[in-house]
Amino acid sequence: MIASDPVVLIAAGGRNERWGVPGIKVLAEVDGEPLVGRTVRMCRERKREPRAVSGHGDVLDAVDGAGYSQPWSGSVSAMMADCADLWSGERVALLLGDVWYVDGTLSAALDYRGLLVRAWGSDQEVYAVAWAPGMTATMMVALATAAGHGGKLWHLLRVLDGLYPTSHARLPSMLQLVDDGTRDFDSREQFDAWTAGRF
């Protein structure tokens, strides 16, 4: 049996609380291209058609027809539950709109065909998560509730791995650490320092 291609979702609707300046973080531009638009393009180059989930009209306009309008409800977990009609029960690759992806990490998430859950990131950040068919919106809501902390993705992974509420020093076993240049940005200051260092 051939494993199905995943439903590819890009979480692009956050409140930008740590961004520190006006504007939408996922629309920060590198080489004239917004982060979220670059991720959409890279997915399409790999023959995957993503859906960028956001309540921001400017984001929906920037993703070349890949947008899915959904008001932000506080966390990635809650967003997943809110747009369950796109993915419930299917194989999923969840990407984050504020991440600068390098080919290795993006391809790993899009090509994951395992039977469980796999995440890619650093010891501080989650960049992508993929899971096998079977996860439903009801399960996502239950896990997000168990995770607490507003259902943030990092805590959700810890619940899935059975680590919560043990020491946060221990990383979830499903997290594959990557060091290929993929990174996310919490603040405009981080983003500006990174872009300045590229040249």
The SS3 assignment for 157 reads helix
Stretch 151-164: mean pLDDT, rounded?
60
Positions of E strands within the chain = 7-11, 29-30, 33-34, 51-54, 67-69, 92-96, 99-100, 117-121, 126-131, 175-177, 183-184
Q: Backbone phi, then psi, for 49, in 5-degree steps?
A: -105, 105
**And the tokens for 76?**
């990635």
Q: Where are the domains of the chain?
A: 7-192
pLDDT over 90 percentage in the chain: 38
Q: How confident is the model at residue 109 (pLDDT cuts 50, 70, 90)?
A: very high
pLDDT at 20: 64
Q: Report pLDDT digits (tens) over 67-78.
A: 999 888 777 777
Is 2 a residue whose pLDDT tops 50? no
pLDDT at 143: 64
Is 35 a residue whose pLDDT tops 60? yes
Q: Backbone phi, then psi, for 179, in 5-degree steps?
A: -140, 55
Stretch 6-17: mean pLDDT, rounded?
84
C-alpha closest to that of 52 among 94, 89, 16, 106: 94
Is 147 a residue whose pLDDT tops 90? no
pLDDT at 4: 79
CA 109, distance to chain mean position in Å, is 10
C-alpha closest to that of 128 among 97, 172, 150: 97
Report the CATH superfamily, name and number, of domain 7-192: Spore Coat Polysaccharide Biosynthesis Protein SpsA; Chain A (3.90.550.10)
